[in-house]
């Protein structure tokens, strides 16, 4: 589905809000309260005989980044897309740790309260969400029937990406105040988006701006969250835990990723015995925006293959 656009002055304006898009897909927005914490998420379908699917988004984004992806998923598959800790409508606590392990533990809290722990589920994560998903699968293997990682963070990749070379330049510059990942100046946001996208068309950049809109009024939180994620304790959390992952794992990576180099896929595949790799040609880091249908098709095919394999084992 392509969102209708109109030209306003010199820029495009997205007519349909994310809320309208959710309604068109039939997803249900929900809140879940657990002790002093509140999670915001949306669901599609109902729990059934096949595993539920839990999807984790990237840094400073929110659950809406999955809207393009879930469009081709059958309505009878139970999908759950949750805002990560401090993101979107989920509780934002400045004093709380937001390392990958800390976020995985918060996601475990959500899983328990939502009842997803009653049966093993399929876990999907992209970028920082991929790091959290991988750590979760290592910490709570009994809960994860299968795992899909889209260009995840948290690996020791020898080749430095264009993003981190740019960040180094900013750190050394006199104008550096905070990471460009959390800055809100027009120039740095546009530079960041161009790095994320293989073909940064005006339409894609406008849509990406919509996904990133949550960061502007919450710059302090995202600065602290970024510092936690990139700390020595958290920076390589997926790398440190990847050999503990036992679930069948799918790895999807854009060949032209300039945020995390695609060689990370080989590192993961070598560490996780039951894994498969898919590289997307002419695709950067923001897979769900640049290749939504192709990545969704790969995710769905893997999910079905794992489910079919599980059914065959039961029959045998």
Q: With 80 as the cut, is the pLDDT of residue 1 above it? A: no
This model's pTM is above 0.75: yes
Query: 122, 257, 262, 295: which is the annotated catalytic residue?
Result: 257
Average pLDDT of the segment spanning 268-284: 96
pLDDT of 241 reads 98
Query: 52, 60, 127, 145: which is the annotated catalytic residue?
Result: 127
Q: Known catalytic residue: 127?
A: yes
Please state the domain extents for the chain. 30-161+234-315
pLDDT tens digit sequence for 16-75: 567 788 888 889 999 999 988 999 999 999 998 999 999 999 998 899 999 989 998 999
Reference 265, options 256, 278, 246; nearest CA is 278
pLDDT tens digit sequence for 164-223: 777 766 655 545 444 445 555 667 777 778 888 888 876 677 777 766 665 666 788 888
pLDDT tens digit sequence for 96-125: 999 999 999 999 999 999 999 999 999 999
Q: Known catalytic residue: 305?
A: no
Dihedral (Cα; 147, 152, 154, 158), 10-degree rounding: 120
Tokens of 304: 């079905």
Q: Known catalytic residue: 285?
A: yes
CATH 3.40.640.10 applies to domain 30-161+234-315: no
Tokens of 41: 């998420």
Mean pLDDT of the chain: 86
pLDDT of 213 reads 65
Query: 78, 87, 98, 285: which is the annotated catalytic residue?
Result: 285
- Cβ(147)–Cβ(53) below 8 Å: no
Q: With 90 as the cut, is the pLDDT of residue 269 above it? A: yes
């Amino acid at each position: 589905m392509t969102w209708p656009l109109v030209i306003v002055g010199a820029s495009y304006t997205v007519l349909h809000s994310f809320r309208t898009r959710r309604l068109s897909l039939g997803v249900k927005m929900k809140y879940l309260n657990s002790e002093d914490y509140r999670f915001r998420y949306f669901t599609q379908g109902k729990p059934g005989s096949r595993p539920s699917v839990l999807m984790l988004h990237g840094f400073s984004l929110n659950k809406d980044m999955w809207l393009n992806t879930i469009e081709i998923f059958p309505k009878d598959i139970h999908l759950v897309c949750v805002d990560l800790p401090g993101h979107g409508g989920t509780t934002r606590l400045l004093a709380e740790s937001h390392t990958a392990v800390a976020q995985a533990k918060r996601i475990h809290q959500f899983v328990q309260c939502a009842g997803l722990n009653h049966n093993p589920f399929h876990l999907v994560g992209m970028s920082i969400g991929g790091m959290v998903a991988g750590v979760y699968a290592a910490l709570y293997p009994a809960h994860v029937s299968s795992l899909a990682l889209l260009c995840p963070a948290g690996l020791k990749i020898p080749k430095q990406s264009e993003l981190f070379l740019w960040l180094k330049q900013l750190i050394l510059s006199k104008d550096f105040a905070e990471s460009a990942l959390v800055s809100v100046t027009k120039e740095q946001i546009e530079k960041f988006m161009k790095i994320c996208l293989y073909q940064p068309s005006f339409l894609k950049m406008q849509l990406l701006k919509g996904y990133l809109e949550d960061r502007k009024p919450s710059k302090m939180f995202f600065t602290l969250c970024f510092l936690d994620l990139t700390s020595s304790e958290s920076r390589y959390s997926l790398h440190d835990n990847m050999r503990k992952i036992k679930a069948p794992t799918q790895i999807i990576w854009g060949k032209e990723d300039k945020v995390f180099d695609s060689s990370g896929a080989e590192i993961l595949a070598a560490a996780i015995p039951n894994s498969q790799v898919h590289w997307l040609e002419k695709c950067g880091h923001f897979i769900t925006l640049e290749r939504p249908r192709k990545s969704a098709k790969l995710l769905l095919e893997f999910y079905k293959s794992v489910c079919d394999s599980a059914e065959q084992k039961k029959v045998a």
